[in-house]
Amino acid sequence: MTPALLVQSAIVGVSLGSIYILMALGLTLMFGMMHIINFAHGAVYMLGAFVIYYVFFQGGVPYFAAFVASMILLGVFGYLVERSIYRPVKGGIEPTLVALLALTTFLQAAGYPVFGQLDKHVPPVFPGTTNVFGVGISIERLMIIPVAGALVIGLYLFINKTRLGAAMRAIEQDKEAAALQGVNVHVVNGLAFAIGFALAAASGALMAPIFKLDPMMGEQPLLKAFIIIILGGLGSIPGAILGGLMLGLIDSIVATALGAEPAFLLSFVFIIMLLLFRPTGLFGYAS
Amino acid sequence: MALLETRDLTRVFGGLTAVNRVDLTVDKGEIVGLIGPNGAGKTTCFNLLSGFLRPTRGSIVFDGQDITGLRPHQIAGRGLVRTFQLTTLFQEMTALENVLLGLHLHSGKGPRQVLFSRRDFPADEIARGRDVLEFTGLAPHADQLTRNLPHGHQRVLGIAMALAAQPRLLLLDEPVTGMNLDESGHVMDLVRTIRSRGTTILLVEHNMKAVMGTCERIVVLNFGQKLAEGTPSQVSTSPAVIQAYLGTGIAHA
Amino acid sequence: MRRKLGVPIVLAMLAALALLVPALGGDYYVHVFALVFTNVILAASLRPSLTCGQLNIGHSAFMSVGAYTSALLAKNLAVPFEVSLLCGALLATAVGLVIGYPALRLRGVYFAMVTVAFVEVIRLIAQLWVSLTRGMSGLSGIPKPSILGMTLTSRAGQYYLVVGLTLMILLVLWKLEHSRLGLIWKSIGMADNLAQSLGVNIARHKLLAFMLGCFFAGTAGAFYAHFIRFLFPPEFGFLMATNILVYNYVGGRGHFVGPIVGAIFLSLLSEPFRGSPYETIFFSIAMLLTILFLPGGLITLPRKLAELRSWRTASAPTPSPAA
C-alpha cells in the first residue's frame, strides 16, 4: 500500500467513522438509558436515506431542508416506537429486543414493495473531488465530517447543558431515583428514542448520495454500530465517538488492503475477542 | 478450631479497595456477626467468601483447606453456603419446590442419575424437604408460590434453602433487614436453633439489636478494614466503633 | 408447568401432519412441511439454551456448519449420508464448544452480541473460503440423503426422514427437560446466583445446553443441505438466527411445545408468501402482535381465551392473571 493510498484511506476512514459515530451514538444512548440494543437502528438508517431520495431527489427540496426533515420525521417515529412498542412490552429486556427485531424485519421487508425493486441512487450534493494532503478525496465524503461533527457537538451540548439532557443522564444512572426527583421517565425515554432515531436517520441521509439505496442497506451499518458500542463500552458516549472513529479508520484501511468482506470478518473476530476478554470495552465501565 | 480463616483478604475494584487486608476467623460452633457502616465492605466479604468474587490478594481457608479462588458451586459443595440479601428465590415455584431444589441440587447425583431420573422428587426427599420447612416454620406455606409469600417469609425461605444444602458454615446476608421486631425475633431464634444443631454461623446485619443479642463475637469493618473485634459489649463500647458510626447512629430498632 | 397444556393435542397434530401430508398433498406441500419440521428441530433445540437464560441469537451458525460439513463430505468424498450427517452435527458441536466455553461466562446482552458476531463470522468464512464452499456462487450438486445405502430419491421419502429425525430429537429433548438436568437448567434460568450457591456448576450446565443445541442444529443443517441440495452462505445469517429465536418467543417460552407451536405457526403463516417480501412482512407483524398482546406466546392462547370468556360471564371473580 502506497503512502498516498494510505492517506486517502485514512481520510475516507475519518469520513466513514463520522457516520459510524452517529449510528453508534444513538445506540449507546439508548442502551445507557434503557438497557436495550435497538435492533431497529439499521432500518432507521435506511429510512433516513430513503427520505432524502424522495424529498430531495424526487421532490426537489434543497438538500439541507430534506436532511433536517429526515431527522425530524424519524425522530418523531422514534418517539412513537417508544410509546407503542417499548413501553407496552413487559417481561424484561428480551421481549423488547425481540419486538425491535420484529420492527426491523417489518421495515426492511416492507421496503421492497413500497420502494420498488430497482436500485435507487441519489446524485451527489457536492460533486467533484478536491485535493487534501496531496490525495484526491470526494467532496461529498469530506462534507460528512463537519456535518457529523456539528451533530455530535449538538448532542454533547444537549446532554450536558440542558435540563432534558440532565434528565437523561439521571435516568441513565438511576431510573428510580430520577423518577423520584420528578423526571417523567416515559417522556424522556421517548426523547432518547427520538434522538437515537434522528441520528441514525442523519447517517443514512448523509450516506444516501454515496452508496446505492436498497431496503437492506441498514444491516451492515447496524452491525458496525454494534461493534463500536462494544468497543467503546456499552452506554459510553466518548467510547462511541472514539470507537466509531477507530472502526472507520480500520475499516477503510483494512478494506483497501484486503477487501471489504475480509475486513468485516476481522472486525467481528476482533469484537468476539474483545467481548470475551474485556467486555466493558476499551473505555466502558462495568455496568 | 477455626472453621474459617481468612488471611490478608483483599479485593480491589479499579480505584476502590473494597476489602483491605482482612483477617477473619470463625470457630466451629460460633455465631459471629460482621457489621459496619454502609459501604464498609461486608457484602464484598461475603461475595469473596462464597466465591462470587475472586480476591485480589489474600487467602481463605475453610476447614483446613484452601478455598481461595474456587467457584461458588465448589465452595457450596464443601459446606460453605450463603443466603442472599435480596429475595433471590425461585419465584415461580412453591416454597416446597424451592427447598427440594436446595436439597436436590446439593445431592451430588452422578450424570447418569441426573439425566434419566424423573423430575418428580422421590418420597424421601419430599419428606426431608417438609422437615426443613417445618423446622423453619414455613410448613403451612409449603404449597404456595414463592412470589405470593410475604417478604418476611421469603427471607426465611432463603434460609431454609440454604439449610437444605447441608451447610457446615452458613453465611447469612442481612437475614432480618426490613423486618419488624416480632419477625426479627423469630428469625434470630431460628438462627440460634440452627447453631445448636451444629451449624456455624457468620452473619452480616444492620439491625444492632439482633446482632448484639445473638452473636457471641462481632467483627467490625470500616472502609474495608477490620476496625474492631470482640464480644458485643466490647464492641459497642469501643470508641473507634462509636466514631465510625457517628452521624449514622448506632442503635436501630 | 402445572397443566399439561395440550401436549397430547400437539402431538396428535404432529402425527397427523406427518402421516397425511404426502398422501394428501403433492410435492409442493411435502416440500413445505419438510422445511416446517426442520424449523421445529431448530426451534426446539434452541430451547435448552434459552431455559438457562442465555439469549442466543447464533443458532443459524451451527446449522450452517452442519450443512456445509455434511454437504462437502458427501459431495467430495462420497461419504454415506448417515456418516456425513453425524459429522456435521459433531463438528457443529465442536465449534459450539470452542465459542461457548469462553462466551457462556458472559451475561445478557454481552452474550447475545457474541452470538450475533459469531453468526457473521461463520457466514463470512463460508463466503470467503471460496475454494471450499464456492462462496457466493453457492454450493450445488449435493447428493440426496440415503439410508443404509439406499438413496431417498422421492420428496416423500426425504420428508419421512426429517419427520423421523424430528420425532427422535423431540423425544430426547422432552426427556431431558423433564429430567433432573432439565430442572437444573430451569433453576439456572430463574436465578443462577442461587443455583450456584446451592452447588450447581452453572458453567458446565449452560455449556451442555448450548452444545446440545448445536448438535441438533447441525443435524437440521445437514438434512437441509441434502434436501435443498444448494447452500448459499447468507441464508444462515442474522435473519435466520432471529427467526429461530422468534419461533421460541412467539410460540411461548413457558412450555416444551412452545417452540414447536411457534415454528409450525410462523413457518406456515409465511409460506404462501415465500420468496416475496410479504412473507417477511406477515412474519414480523405476527411477531409484533404476539409480543404485544400475548407475551406468554401462543401457548397461552387457550388460557387467555378462557379468561376472556369467564370475564364475559362475570360469575365468580377470576384470580389475577399471572404476569
Q: What pLDDT is stored for residue A3 in this prediction? A: 80
Catalogue all structural domains in chain B, each as residue range(s) with its CATH number. 1-79+167-253 (3.40.50.300), 90-166 (no CATH)
Q: How many domains does chain C have?
A: 1
Contact between A250 and A262 under an 8 Å Cβ cutoff? The reply is: no
**Residue in B83, B92, B115 closest to C181 by CB:** B115
DSSP line for B87-122: --S-TTSBHHHHHHHHHHHTS---HHHHHHSBSSPP
Contacts of C198 (CB under 8 A, 6+ apart): B73, B76, B81, B101, B102, B105, B106, B161, B162, B164, B165
Kindly report the length of chain B: 253
Note the pLDDT tens digit of each residue in C310-322: 877 765 555 555 5
**Residue in B72, B91, B113 closest to C197 by CB:** B72
Q: How many CA atoms lie within 13 A of C31 on its CB side?
A: 9
Q: What pLDDT is stored for residue C2 in this prediction? A: 42
Helices (H) and strands (E) in chain A, counts: 11, 2
* Mean pLDDT for all residues in chain A: 85
Note the pLDDT tens digit of each residue in B57-77: 999 999 999 999 899 999 998
State the amino acid at position B77 in one-letter form: G
Q: Which domain holds residue C258?
A: 7-313
Q: What pLDDT is stored for residue A219 in this prediction? A: 83
B157 min Cα distance to partner chain C (Å): 12
Query: What is the value of pTM for the model shown?
Result: 0.86
Q: What are phi and psi of A212, to 5 degrees?
A: -75, 155
Q: Quick one: closest CA in A to C237, which residue?
A: A219
Q: Quick one: closest CA in C to A268, which residue?
A: C117
Candidates A25, A16, A23; CA nearest to A223 is A23
Q: What pLDDT is stored for residue C314 in this prediction? A: 63
> Is the pLDDT reported for residue A142 higher than 90?
no
Taking CB atoms and an 8 Å cutoff, what residues of chain A touch C291?
89, 95, 98-99, 102
Q: What is the mean pLDDT of residues A134-152?
A: 86
Distance between CA C196 and CA B171 in Å, rounded? 14
Q: What pLDDT is stored for residue B168 in this prediction? A: 93
Note the pLDDT tens digit of each residue in B117-130: 666 677 888 888 89
Q: What is the mean pLDDT of residues C94-123?
A: 88
Q: Strands, DSSP E only, in A63-217?
A: 129-132, 135-138
Contact between B169 and B199 under an 8 Å Cβ cutoff? The reply is: yes
> Is the pLDDT reported for residue C323 higher than 50?
no
Contact check, Cβ <8 Å, C182/B162: no
Judge whether B124 is closer than 8 Å to chain C, CB to CB.
no
Residue C82 maps to a domain: yes
Q: What residues pair up with C140 in beta bridges, in sequence order?
A: C230
Give the pairing type, strands B80-82 and B65-66: unpaired
Q: Quick one: closest CA in C to B73, which residue?
A: C199
Task: Work out the pLDDT band at C29, boundaries 50, 70, 90.
Answer: confident
Residue C2 maps to a domain: no
Contact check, Cβ <8 Å, C110/A279: yes
Taking CB atoms and an 8 Å cutoff, what residues of chain B touch C1?
92
Q: Which residues of A239-265 are buried (b: 16+ CB within 10 A; e: fewer)?
A: bbbbbbbbbbbbbbbbbbeeeeeebbb
Taking CB atoms and an 8 Å cutoff, what residues of chain C touch A279?
106, 110
Task: Work out the pLDDT band at C1, boundaries 50, 70, 90.
Answer: very low
Judge whether B145 is closer than 8 Å to chain C, CB to CB.
no
Better-predicted residue by pLDDT, B56 or C21: B56
Q: What pLDDT is stored for residue B51 in this prediction? A: 92
Q: What are phi and psi of A286, to 5 degrees?
A: -60, 125
- In percent, the amount of chain B with pLDDT more than 90 equals 41
Q: What is the mean pLDDT of residues B169-186?
A: 90
Contact check, Cβ <8 Å, B106/C199: yes
Contact between B26 and B200 under an 8 Å Cβ cutoff? The reply is: yes
Domain residue ranges of chain A, discontinuous segments joined by +: 3-217
Contact check, Cβ <8 Å, B73/C199: yes
Q: What pLDDT is stored for residue B59 in this prediction? A: 92
> Is the pLDDT reported for residue A286 higher than 50?
no
Q: What is the mean pLDDT of residues A189-202?
A: 93
Residue C120 maps to a domain: yes
The CATH number of whichever domain residue C189 belongs to comes to: 1.10.3470
Q: What is the mean pLDDT of residues A149-160?
A: 90
Distance between CA C10 and CA C19 in Å, rounded? 14
Q: What pLDDT is stored for residue A287 in this prediction? A: 34
Note the pLDDT tens digit of each residue in B80-137: 999 998 778 888 888 988 898 888 766 655 555 556 566 667 788 888 889 999 999 8
